[in-house]
Amino acid sequence: MADHPLPEPEVAREWLETMLRIRRFEERAGEQYARAKIGGFLHLAIGEEATIVGSTRALRASDYLIGTYRTHGHTLARGSEPGRVMAELFGRVDGLCRGRGGSMHMFDLERRFLGGYGIVGGNLPIAAGFALAHDYLRTEDVTLCQFGDGASNQGTFGETMNLAALWNLPVVFMVTNNRFGMGTALERHSAQTDLQRKGEGYGVPGMECDGMDVVDTFRVTTEAVRIAREERRPVLVEALTYRFRGHSMADPEEYRTKEEVEEYRRRDPIVTFGDRLVAEGVVSAEERAAMDAEATRIADEAVAFADASPAPEPTSLYDDVYVLGGEVQGWYSVDERGAGVRRGEDIG
Amino acid sequence: MATLRYREALNQALREEMTRDERVFLMGEDIGVFNGAYKVTQGLLDEFGEQRVRDTPISENTIVGMGVGAAMLGLRPVVELMTINFSLLALDQVVNHAAHIRYMFGGQVTVPLVIRMPQGAGHQLGPTHSHSFEAIYLHVPGILVAVPSTPADAKGLLKAAIRDENPVVFIEHEYLYGQRGEVPDEDDHVVPFGKAAIRREGADVTIVGISRMAVTAEKAAVQLAEQHEIDAEVIDPRTLRPLDLDTILASVRKTNRCVIVEEGWPHGGVGANLAALIQEQAFDDLDAPIGRVTGADVPMPYAKNLEQIAFPHEPQVVEAVRAACGDL
């Protein structure tokens, strides 16, 4: 690949460091899933770290990010505490969402990461709604909306592209093309496999980046974000990437060969970027090893934090279904009509 | 008191709330240049401009989803879906997103979104354009459901809905748009959610009417008094979530008989749910099985004669009440 110049050394180091922290965190999460500490589905983004870090680093802290059910790394890249992310996976009270969302539904308002969403394509209209709010409130904010290649086949994709272009909304759509919609290969699920072109007919121009290269992903996303912010119009970026692990932990991977996975693993975005930083004298081999060890330590600490965090109180079951009080009176939930405490009302 | 049509009362509510709060804006199909398929938004584009009265393409799921996103960032979107029939296309955004976002993200955000739409049969629009779906939305925790049946309630409940921090499914009725009624003149006529209205006091039987059927129930009650010497109490719950069960139970404890009238289908309907709640709470007070009058369990036919017998009218209500009172 044609290498684009590296950013400032401290920036390059931070990118490598963040990618390593995401990788080690997710590896630990996979182990904890195997030990049944984590329930439900666990979708790992191992292999996609350059896409995550390169794209989110193109945002200001005040910009908004919205993703899918594969967003542990996005929370970490935005600065969420690893312990709270792991605690969410564990279904504990200190989780980002107090154990209500789990792996597929991460959220950190403070860091303007507005959600992992479990329904494929469900987050696109919501992202356009954020961008509508930026426009309405006349802020400089931009929303970056990430979704997978599979989501580009949903009705919401076309509907949202059309509306975002029609209303000139400051939103960057990023299709993270990891070549599979769950177990169905790209060429078997999309007639147009050049996904950056799928917005063209709606008036949303496309761009492409090497999602295995953090530098290229940053470069292209930066330009897309600039267009959204300054020219007030949407852009679709296709990040070409690959996930090394199954769709979820419950995936026998019968739809692809070991050789294909191996070939992509040779392009591991963390290894290649680390090699480059060493080769160009940005980090020493020792610094790189220390960075990795620190990433492992943080992941272990996150596991310990999650393990120590208590499960949510049963009495909190009805919390936050409704905003209670104010001008709205009366009964909200049918099963709160029993004798005794009206659960959920005592937080009003 | 001013006499207004239901659609005019809704229009007033929108105008007043948009004037009061700049965060309130409208999105929907043909609400601007066309002035609304049912003229509820008449004149609002001229008055408030294109930023706040936004004509949308026909993309129900995305319109509602954009409302969800805008609401999460602090705006107060009011989304109009042309009819409730098309809301099925938006069900993912209503259920998986609007209703669940606050809960599944641990209370970090609210979704103060209002989704307005009319329902109802009677205009020979056939199976896909004649639905009554309050039962579907009632089923979902996380949203509030309003079913106003009078101009005064249409206005007051819509103002309350726009001010509420919860997502609200606001179900209007095609038949009611042209109906007139007294609306209080006061500057700020707000009807709180979760408070039923007793439309007519009576001693012999409680009739609960949902949406347009509150009007049908009231007319039936007049017939029952005049022709059958049955003194019916008519209750309009006005909102189904929250539900003012206390008012309904107090009435049933007084009359000892109850008939529920709704336009939707019988299985899994509002009446089925309400009958269960009433018998759980007031079994010993009941002198007869709770009666239900519902739409027929069929897709809505086009032929006028068939359509008219496929949703409740006064005679069916009268008959069901007489049965509950042992008068047949």
Look up the CATH number of the domain holding residue B91. 3.40.50.970
A184 - beta bridge partners? A181
Q: Which amino acid is at A138?
A: R
Q: Are residues B169 and B201 in the same domain?
A: no
Return the structure tokens found at B16: 């007043």
By Cβ distance, the residue of B75, B92, B109 closest to A133 is B75
Four-point Cα dihedral A85, A91, A92, A97, nearest 10: 60
Token pair 């592209």 is found at A161
Which chain B positions have a beta carbon within 8 Å of A321's beta carbon? 102-103, 141-142
A336 interfacial to chain B (CB closer than 8 Å): no
Strands B232-236 and B197-200: antiparallel
Q: What is the pLDDT of residue A348?
A: 37
Domain A9-312 bears CATH identifier 3.30.300.90: no
A325 interfacial to chain B (CB closer than 8 Å): no
Which chain B positions have a beta carbon within 8 Å of A84's beta carbon? none
| A 160-199 near B (Cβ less than 8 A) | 160, 162-163, 166-167
pLDDT tens, per residue, chain B with 328 residues = 899 999 999 999 999 999 999 999 999 999 999 999 999 999 999 999 999 999 999 999 999 999 999 999 999 999 999 999 999 999 999 999 999 999 999 999 999 999 999 999 999 999 999 999 999 999 999 999 999 999 999 999 999 999 999 999 999 999 999 999 999 988 899 999 989 999 999 999 999 999 999 999 999 999 999 999 999 999 999 999 999 999 999 999 999 999 999 999 999 999 999 999 999 889 999 999 999 999 999 999 999 999 999 999 999 999 999 999 997 7
Q: What is the pLDDT of residue A129?
A: 98
User: Considering the domain boundaries, does residue B190 fall inside one?
Assistant: no
Which chain B positions have a beta carbon within 8 Å of A115's beta carbon? 101, 105
Kindly state the DSSP code that residue A231 receives in the 8-state scheme.
Answer: I
Least Cα separation, residue B65 to chain A (angstroms): 5
Return the structure tokens found at A296: 């492992």
Q: Are residues B101 and B41 in the same domain?
A: yes
Q: Are residues B151 and B219 in the same domain?
A: no
Q: Is the pLDDT of residue A331 over 60?
A: no
| Confidence bin at A333 (pLDDT 50/70/90) | low
User: Considering the domain boundaries, does residue B191 fall inside one?
Assistant: no
Q: Are residues B276 and B224 in the same domain?
A: yes
For residue B260, the Cα-to-chain-centroid distance in whole angstroms is: 15
Best probe of the A interface among B26, B103, B247, by most A CBs < 10 A, is B103
A102 φ/ψ sector (left φ>0, alpha ψ -120 to 50, else beta):
left
Q: Are residues B177 and B201 in the same domain?
A: no
- Inter-residue contact A75 to A286 (CB < 8 Å): no
Least Cα separation, residue A298 to chain B (angstroms): 24
Q: Are residues B251 and B216 in the same domain?
A: yes
Q: Are residues B93 and B205 in the same domain?
A: no
pLDDT digits (tens, 9 = 90+) for A102-145: 999 999 999 999 999 999 999 999 999 999 999 999 999 999 99
Which residue, of B183, B209, B241, is where some domain finishes? Answer: B183
Q: Are residues B135 and B25 in the same domain?
A: yes
Q: Is the pLDDT of residue A314 over 90?
A: no
Q: Are residues B124 and B55 in the same domain?
A: yes
Q: Are residues B41 and B72 in the same domain?
A: yes
User: Comparing C-alpha atoms, which of B110, B93, B94, B114 is closest to residue B102?
Assistant: B110
The Cα–Cα gap between B165 and B167 comes to: 7
Strands B144-146 and B239-241: antiparallel
Inter-chain contact A321–B61, Cβ cutoff 8 Å? no
- Inter-residue contact B203 to B232 (CB < 8 Å): no
Q: What is the pLDDT of residue B187?
A: 80
Instruction: State the CATH number of the domain containing residue B290.
Output: 3.40.50.920
Q: Is the pLDDT of residue A330 over 50?
A: no
Delimit the domains of chain A by residue range: 9-312, 322-348
The Cα–Cα gap between B152 and B174 comes to: 16
Which residues of B are tagged catalytic? 60, 129
Q: Count CB neighbours of B67 within 10 A.
A: 33
User: Considering the domain boundaries, does residue B266 fall inside one?
Assistant: yes
Best probe of the B interface among A65, A136, A142, by most B CBs < 10 A, is A136
Q: Are residues B177 and B50 in the same domain?
A: yes
Helices (H), B31-163: 44-48, 60-72, 91-92, 101-104, 134-138, 151-163
By Cβ distance, the residue of A136, A326, A331 closest to B25 is A136
Structural domain boundaries, residue B286: 197-324
Q: Return mean pLDDT, chain A.
A: 92
Q: Is the pLDDT of residue A343 over 90?
A: no
Inter-chain contact B66–A128, Cβ cutoff 8 Å? yes
Please give the tally of structural domains in chain B. Answer: 2
B254 φ/ψ sector (left φ>0, alpha ψ -120 to 50, else beta):
alpha
By Cβ distance, the residue of B66, B67, B104 closest to A105 is B104
pLDDT digits (tens, 9 = 90+) for A232-257: 999 999 999 999 998 888 888 899 99
User: Considering the domain boundaries, does residue B188 fall inside one?
Assistant: no
Q: Are residues B8 and B96 in the same domain?
A: yes
Return the structure tokens found at A293: 């060890």
